[in-house]
Structure 1
């Protein structure tokens, strides 16, 4: 099969070229058209007599027009067409058409035989169909032998034209297959072009397997796109191995820094942390740039692993940059790492968008001169004016929260920001959202993965309760009693201000309501006034810092916030997390929020406040939160319920390059595609290149995705 996407010879309705409806759907070649699969199918292969109609059924009938008349006045006119068949002389079927043309009325004269397909329903005057598909036939016209495809379409592109375009495109396809016969046999996969022909015109017997997404032809297409993705990732890995990076070992700085940092820590690393530290340390000594993902559950201790990696880079005489997606998270890292490393003589600089011009210029000068050995901040770290003297390691926390453009900017900035070293910095990405293995293979297959799979000792399990919003007053009283005992609490809302479309409690209104309700509770004379804080993403950076500092210091008893506190907030005295409208959140986000408590010795609780009635999916999510505490198990459940995009907080609904495969259901195909990709790159590199070009385009660059 040639990978070239030659333009289709089909002429499209409504114009040609870029303005045509086909082009608006992205269908520019025969392969594009052939890969434009049906949304669903209609079974027109058998007829249902009128006396056998059932309410709600999708049926095909052959019947004769007995009457056609227009009722009502514009714009509410409708065309009513009454039909009878020979098998049911006493039974009629009415077609109700709200949109019709004068020539259609003329064609629907009494005595005309119609073949009609649609959903039948019981109306006030008998059986009827509203806007079915229909055509005139004679008594001897044969029925179709395959299911009728219904395609995704756009204005000006009727189903009849799409069906003709697909038939023509399939006839012109090159029948060669990029996947060798032995690979197809190994994984029990049919030929690609034969699979496409089946999917566009399947036999009626295939209906059940198509509905389940398990037909061999569907599996072939899923395999092919997963194979293209795995090939692109493995090619990216090979390309990255050609880049050069500094070997971060030996002299050049404070060689004893990692050991001095370990000695200064007030705790001992867990075996899982030690394993990850060793994997990263080994990578950093290589001359090929490290590209590693460090993942771990909430509170598993990723920050200290990152600190030891930074210490290794600084000990070798190079700089380390750590970037986080939000200022709250970046500031949390800055405080913790500065507390650990500044007493050991490490120069630390802070970069963020909220800095004054004077502060920023001073920080930039320290970074460029090399005085700042550790540089922390938000995306401000990758701005064009930032120049490093000797950047050897870049650490990106919650990297999936950066957009594709920001990640590409990070890659380019890291190269440009190293001035004249000519070397690519090592890259460590961190994620506190545990990623199921299939999703890690699909999104981060070109990376090495280190996983902290155990929690540090002493963490108190958080009790999780699911509570109806009808018991809100009881919960407020409980918060008042908790704060009176010297503890603190969070109350998380999904919105900042009221929405016209979603009836959700918002942070601003909730802050006012809770402030008034808690102030009205009886309090002992010696107790200080109860303060309620507010934190959300639209506040100025200085306001957010002040709110977090007051909460960390214990001056605020209850912090009302949006999900801006989802990651990076660490207040051990906070022992209660209330999540408003918990039914609106995904499992991984709920787990992240729950992880803000349980960081001290006291028993902590998470209350999932919901507004009834609950959908079945929401009920299943909240039940999983109540029963499961392991982040990896919850992430796998979230992948099954909501898909990869929502699991990772991405704007897109799925994984780049995937249109057909479902990572929650097709893990076996992903494994098979990964193995095949390795063999194909080794034994048939031309076929591998053509396969990637066919599925992802000639100019596809996985490194920027």
Structure 2
């Protein structure tokens, strides 16, 4: 419940209010311009007083809690049986009501017992007809100074911000720091006049002050809710404007890498096949970005098999050829090794490109090799100057801090992904990052996706036999590598069972295997000697099994949309038909089924990421933010999480219709 007005009086009586402000430090509020930018959650309406007659149950239907002003007609007495309780009688001048307060922890017994006959009391409770008599059980006593007001209720967090702390601070700020807050808020939009801010937020309010007063000092609950809605729109606009400002970087001459067209032509001529139109366009966009004094911030998005690796290789080789450093970050060692092998196969064994993993003992940078590796690069390159080109392959495996640690202010930054994570989707949507989309596929393939429940298990085994009979391969993905308590879900235990059914045809790959074991298992599967791959999601990124026609994900509900789409991309890499099964051995929540249905309905990775963002939220859109999904937060407003629909709406710079 909200604090009594004594706290409000205490706030105003303090010379500078500093003790109030100190209570909000753990919420991130450090200056008096900030408390009024904390949004209320809801309102407690003490302005509407009901008579007992108005609150009478109608047709045996009890109304909700009402606010009553009553006179005590019989003072409280304590009854011990059957449960200890206080009982008193009060009247509104027309009807009388029995008031029952059970004596439990937290009940202020002395206050109730102190009321004398004729004393006026204000309470909130539910009026009931109990055996033909009116009764209110367990009411809340309301401070007289709250009556007639609408009180905002603010967030409280255990060990962060105490109940009533924001309320106290906003009372003080309304009286002493309102203009300072408005000036700070307007300045946060970087030069936009107040009228333009309101217009872009699609608000009809004449000023920011009107919105803040409506939210924090409303005369009615409706006015308060309109104030909250206005603050949410202002917060959404601040998020969108912040995302746009991320693109408005200052020129950094050191980031310029001018790659001549002749060099790109020399590299593409080494390929045994022509580039697709999308690949050529993407390389051109990357080259143009790197020639600009504004450091590149680009996403290279394309489904698995669309050829994202080639634009990365060509950009990295061109950068290296000009004497600059190129670094490519991969999610696992297998993919790093595969990248190096493919690069040497396509552009010559003498290509200076090396794999850097946790097992790499010595790193020689004298010859300026292209560095391809896992997060082991984080420690190996400490103290070195930032690379001129920094690529992250499949960014959902990297935290924001990991990516920032390797890149520098002058680095040109390229993300390659089949399914951008929600934060990246939002940054693209709102202009903070450029995007190159690869839609053309070198081969034509058709993959159908099915959700399979426990009762349909037999379908999967029948399907497996058909795939093997046709000469194809099949992969089964399990979510747990080795767990004694959940053996059936274990990759290791499952591989044993599959081997019993198909002797000599089963290969196993999981993240806890030694590097040499992994390589041997992958080579056995790639050669086609083994037809059934029992794997963890290590297969999801980069590993290619040429004859893979079908893939089954066991406990698909445990995987994110992006991971599942990556797994699906492993199927039918050389073209033709393929099958992808989401196997659910147990019942899942409706929202989980909704998320999995996205994969059935959408095969395009970029569209899928947009739909996923609508479900999961964008995460934080300010620079260096760590939250990469979930509702978005504003850097200016507090106690508000914004949905993707609110962020989208903030991009429409039109006033609301009257």
Q: TM-score, normalised by structure 1?
A: 0.74
- Select 1:666's aligned residue among 647, 651, 654: 647
Q: CA deviation at 1:121?
A: 10
**Offset at residue 464 of structure 1 (A):** 0.9
Query: Are 2:476 and 1:486 aligned?
Result: no
1:530 maps to 505
Q: Does 1:407 align with 2:421?
A: no
Determine the structure 2 residue equivalent to 1:223. 237
Q: CA deviation at 1:303?
A: 0.7
For 1:644, what is the secondary structure of its paired residue?
A: coil
- Provide closer, same or farther for how the CA distance between residues 295 and 651 of structure 1 changes in structure 2, counting only shifts above 3 A: closer
Post-superposition offset of 1:84: 6.3
| Closer, same or farther: CA 59–560 of 1 in aligned 2, 3 Å | farther
Residues 30 and 351 from structure 1, CA distance in 2 versus in 1: closer, same or farther, beyond 3 angstroms?
A: same
2:457 is matched with: 472
Q: CA deviation at 1:210?
A: 5.4
Deviation at 1:637, TM superposition (A): 1.7
Is the Cα contact below 8 Å between 2:507 and 2:521 reproduced in 1? no
**Once the 2 structures are TM-superposed, how far is the Cα of residue 667 of structure 1 from its aligned partner?**
1.5
Partner of 2:27: 25
Structure 1 spans left out of the alignment, 5+ residues? 1-7, 416-423, 674-705
Q: Distance in 2 between matches of 1:122 and 1:625?
A: 55
Any idea what SS the aligned residue of 1:529 has? coil
- Asked if 1:195 is matched to 2:204, the reply is no
Given candidates 591, 611, 615, the residue that maps to 1:617 is: 591
Listed one character per residue, the Cα deviations across residues 630-669 of structure 1 (whole Å, up to 9, x for unaligned) are 2222222211211124999956645575554333332131
Q: With structure 2 as the length reference, what TM-score do the two structures score?
A: 0.78
Whether contact under 8 Å (1:63, 1:84) holds in the other structure is yes
Structure 1 segment 262-341 matched on structure 2, within 5 A: 262-286=268-292, 289-341=295-347
Residues 307 and 225 of structure 1: CA distance in aligned 2, closer, same or farther (over 3 Å): closer
Distance 1:555 1:397, change over 3 A: same
- How do 1:141-290 and structure 2 match up within 5 A? 143-146=147-150, 148-154=152-158, 159-173=163-177, 174=180, 175-176=182-183, 177-178=186-187, 179-184=192-197, 186-187=199-200, 188-189=202-203, 190=205, 191-204=207-220, 206=222, 215-231=229-245, 233-235=246-248, 237-238=249-250, 241-249=251-259, 258-286=264-292, 289-290=295-296
User: CA 1:380 to 1:562, structure 2 compared with 1: closer, same or farther past 3 Å?
Assistant: same
Check if 1:396 corresponds to 2:382: no
Equivalent residue for 2:448? 463
Report the CA distance shift for 1:204/1:541 in structure 2 as closer, same or farther (over 3 A): farther
CA distance in 2 between partners of 1:132 and 1:499 (Å): 54
How many residue pairs align between the two structures?
616
Aligned to 1:449: 435
Q: Which whole-Å CA distance do the structure 2 matches of 1:297 and 1:456 have between them?
A: 8
Q: Does the CA-based 8 Å contact 2:477-2:554 persist in structure 1? A: yes
User: CA deviation digits over 1:450-476, x for unaligned, max 9?
Assistant: 222x13143312111111123335424
**Residues 549 and 90 (structure 1 numbering): CA distance in 2 closer, same or farther, change over 3 Å?**
farther
Aligned partner of residue 376 in structure 1, secondary structure: strand
The residue that corresponds to 1:369 in the other structure is: 367
Q: How does 1:593-612 map to 2 (within 5 A)?
A: 593-612=567-586
Give runs of aligned pairs for residues 508-527 of structure 1, distance below 5 A. 509=490, 511-513=492-494, 515-516=496-497, 518-519=498-499, 521=501
> CA 1:42–1:549 in structure 2 vs 1: closer, same or farther (change >3 Å)?
farther
Q: 1:378 aligns with which of 374, 379, 382?
A: 374
Distance 1:21 1:136, change over 3 A: closer
Distance in 1 separating the partners of 2:84 and 2:491: 50
Matches within 5 A, 1:66-81: 69=78
Which stretch of the first structure deviates more once superposed, 617-626 or 301-310? 617-626
Q: How does 1:121-136 map to 2 (within 5 A)?
A: 133-135=140-142
Answer whether contact 1:39 1:152 (CA < 8 A) is retained: no
Residue in 2 aligned with 1:349? Answer: 354
Deviation at residue 59 of structure 1 after TM alignment: 4.5
Deviates more, 1:442-451 or 1:280-289: 442-451
Aligned with residue 100 of structure 1, among 87, 106, 111: 106
Counterpart position of 1:565: 539
